Structure 1
Amino acid sequence: MKLRVRQVGQQGVALVVVLLFLVAVTGISVWTARQSMLAESMARNQIDQEAARQAAESALRDAERDIDNAAFGVKLANASCARNSSPVDDEGINIAEFTVGCTRGLCLKDDATYKDANWSMASASNTGVAEPWWPASKGGLWNDNEATKPGREPVTANNCDSFTGGVPLGTFTGVPPIRGVAKQPEYLVEVFLRKHVRMNIDETQVTSTGESANQWSTMYRVTARGFGYSTRTQVVLQTVFFP
Structure 2
Amino acid sequence: MSGFNEQTDVASPRRERGVALVVVLLFLVAITGISVWTARQSMLAEGMARNQMDQEAARQAAESALRDAERDIDNAPLGVLMANASCQRNASTTDTDGISPSAFSSDCAKGLCLKDDTSYTASDWTVATASNKTVADPWWPKSKGGLWNDDETTKPGRNPVNSSNCDTFTGGVPLGTYSGVPPVRGVSKQPEYLIEVFQRKHVRINLDETQVTSTGEKANQWSTMYRITARGFGYSQRTQVVLQSVFFP
Unaligned runs of 5+ in 2: none
1:8 aligns with one of 11, 19, 28: 11
Structure 1 letter corresponding to 2:38: T
Name 1:185's counterpart in structure 2. Answer: 191
Contact preservation (8 Å) 2:214, 2:248: no
Q: Are residue 107 (structure 1) and residue 113 (structure 2) matched? A: yes
Structure 1 position 76, deviation (Å): 1.0
Q: CA deviation at 1:87?
A: 8.1
Q: Distance in 2 between matches of 1:198 and 1:8?
A: 96
Larger radius of gyration: 2
The letter of the residue matching 1:115 is T
1:88–1:148: structure 2 CA closer, same or farther, 3 Å change rule? farther
Amino acid at match of 1:49: Q
Tell me which moved more, 210-219 or 99-108: 210-219
| Structure 2 residue matching 1:205: 3-state secondary structure | coil
TM-score by length of 1: 0.94
Q: Deviations over 1:65-115 (max 9, x none)?
A: 0000000123211100000158895699x7211000000000000101111
1:49 to partner: Cα distance = 0.3
> What is the aligned residue count?
242
| Secondary structure at 1:236 match in 2 | strand
Tell me the alpha carbon deviations over residues 41-64 of structure 1, each in whole angstroms, 9 at most, x when there is no partner: 000000000000000000000000
The structure 2 residue matched to 1:239, chosen from 214, 239, 245, is 245
Per the alignment, residue 38 of structure 2 pairs with: 32
* Partners of 2:79 and 2:93 within 8 A in 1: no
Give me the whole-angstrom Cα distance separating, in 2, the residues matched to 1:44 and 1:122: 33
Q: Do the aligned partners of residues 91 and 43 (structure 1) sit closer, same or farther apart at CA in structure 2, a change above 3 Å counting?
A: closer
- TM-score, with length taken from structure 2: 0.92
Paired residues of 2:74 and 2:97 also in contact (CA < 8 A): no
Q: Does 1:169 align with 2:172?
A: no
Amino acid of the structure 2 residue aligned with 1:123: T
Which structure's residues are more often helix, by fraction? 2
Match of 1:125 in 2: 131
How far off is 1:213 after superposition? 2.0
Work out the CA distance in 2 between the residues paired with 1:86 and 1:197.
Answer: 29
What is the identity, as a one-letter code, of the residue corresponding to 2:117?
D
Matches of 1:61 and 1:91, distance apart in 2: 17
Find the aligned partners of 2:50 and 2:97 in 1 and give their Cα distance: 50
Question: Aligned partners of 1:175 and 1:235: how far apart in 2?
Answer: 20
Aligned partner letter, 2:201: K
C-alpha contact 1:71 1:87 (8 A) present in aligned 2 = yes
CA contact (8 A) 1:73 1:86 kept: yes
Matched, 1:150 2:156: yes
Instruction: List runs of 5+ in structure 1 lacking aligned partners.
Output: none
